[in-house]
């Protein structure tokens, strides 16, 4: 698979087979992704790979917290805009509506929507959850570095026959994650990622979001 094919093939998978991922495959993915660029070669990424009993324990804890407060927690940083507007708001609404439509969930079915939201905190039952940490001394530029590393993991995973789903939701209970995984307060939780083998029969995995055309976001100057 060449780079362009990988970019087109990558998608966010929300249903996984109940099949363990060998450690050597995960190491191979991270070994490829570690070559991602970073400013001054700082390589600011710190990764926790969570599987087995620890995955179940942590997923249970996140899900229970979500159910207790009946909603999302607070990330270590502001991921989304405080107030959405214009095209960004439109695409956000369109994406959510498309997902629920694919799943056959009606707009007014609040309980079904809540249950679909809830499964985020189990990483869609993927056999592997990756958590990404960043030292608080690092600044905005390191988030740019992290994006390149994050994408590199998803593309390298395809080469290993693995599916992924990048998830901001997995970073919404940072204190809980730090406590369960033994990270200090100096490490902020950037994001999480579900990883495993795609369930090809799951309807939710046929869901694909739209993309802008090049001319919609690009200006050429000569």
pLDDT tens sequence across 170-207: 999 999 999 999 999 999 999 999 999 999 999 999 98
Question: How far is C-alpha 13 from the geometric centre of its chain's CA atoms?
Answer: 10
Query: What is the model's pLDDT at position 1?
Result: 81
What are the phi and psi torsion angles at 104 (to 5°)?
Answer: 75, 25
Give the residue-averaged pLDDT of 18-30.
98
User: What does the pLDDT look like over 37-86, one tens digit per residue?
Assistant: 999 999 999 999 999 999 999 999 999 999 999 999 999 999 999 999 99
Class of residue 43 by CB neighbours under 10 A (exposed 0-12, middle 13-18, buried 19+): middle
Asked if residue 187 lies in contact with residue 46, where contact means CB atoms within 8 angstroms, the answer is yes
Q: Is residue 54 part of a domain?
A: yes
- List 189's β-bridge partners, or say none: 133
Query: What is the model's pLDDT at position 102?
Result: 87
Q: Is residue 196 part of a domain?
A: yes
Q: Is residue 210 part of a domain?
A: yes
- List 12's β-bridge partners, or say none: 164
User: What does the pLDDT look like over 110-150, one tens digit per residue?
Assistant: 899 999 999 999 999 999 999 999 999 999 999 999 999 99
Pairing state between β 187-196 and 163-167: antiparallel
Query: What is the model's pLDDT at position 136?
Result: 98
Cross-sheet strand order for the sheet of 163-167:
46-50, 128-135, 187-196, 163-167
Distance CA 214, CA 165 (A): 24
Q: Is residue 90 part of a domain?
A: no
With cut-offs at 50, 70 and 90, classify the pLDDT of residue 107.
Answer: confident
Closest to 127 (Cα-Cα) out of 201, 12, 23, 202 = 23
Tokens encoding 44: 């600011």
Domain that residue 196 falls in: 3-82+121-217
Q: Is residue 93 part of a domain?
A: no
CATH number at residue 42: 3.40.109.10
Distance CA 57, CA 123 (A): 13
Q: Is residue 194 part of a domain?
A: yes
Q: Is residue 192 part of a domain?
A: yes
Count of structural domains, the chain: 1
Q: Is residue 88 part of a domain?
A: no
Class of residue 151 by CB neighbours under 10 A (exposed 0-12, middle 13-18, buried 19+): middle
């Amino acid at each position: 698979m060449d780079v362009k094919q990988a970019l087109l093939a990558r998608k966010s998978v929300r249903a996984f087979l109940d099949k363990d991922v060998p450690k050597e495959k995960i190491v191979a993915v991270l070994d490829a992704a570690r070559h991602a660029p970073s400013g001054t070669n700082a390589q600011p990424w710190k990764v926790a790979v969570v599987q087995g009993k620890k995955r179940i324990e942590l997923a249970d804890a996140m899900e229970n917290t979500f159910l207790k407060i009946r909603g999302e927690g607070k990330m270590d940083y502001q991921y989304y805009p405080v107030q959405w507007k214009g095209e960004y708001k439109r695409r956000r609404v369109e994406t959510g509506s498309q997902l629920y439509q694919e799943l056959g969930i009606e707009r007014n079915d609040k309980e079904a929507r809540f249950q679909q939201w809830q499964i985020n905190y189990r990483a869609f039952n993927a056999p592997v959850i990756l958590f990404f940490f960043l030292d608080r001394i690092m600044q905005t530029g390191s988030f740019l570095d992290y994006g390149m590393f994050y994408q590199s993991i998803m593309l390298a995973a395809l080469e290993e026959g693995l599916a992924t789903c990048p998830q901001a939701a997995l970073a919404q209970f940072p204190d809980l994650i730090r406590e369960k995984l033994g990270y200090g307060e100096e490490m902020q939780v950037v994001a999480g990622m579900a990883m495993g083998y795609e369930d090809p029969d799951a309807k939710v995995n046929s869901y694909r979001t739209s993309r802008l055309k090049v001319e919609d976001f690009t200006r050429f100057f000569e």
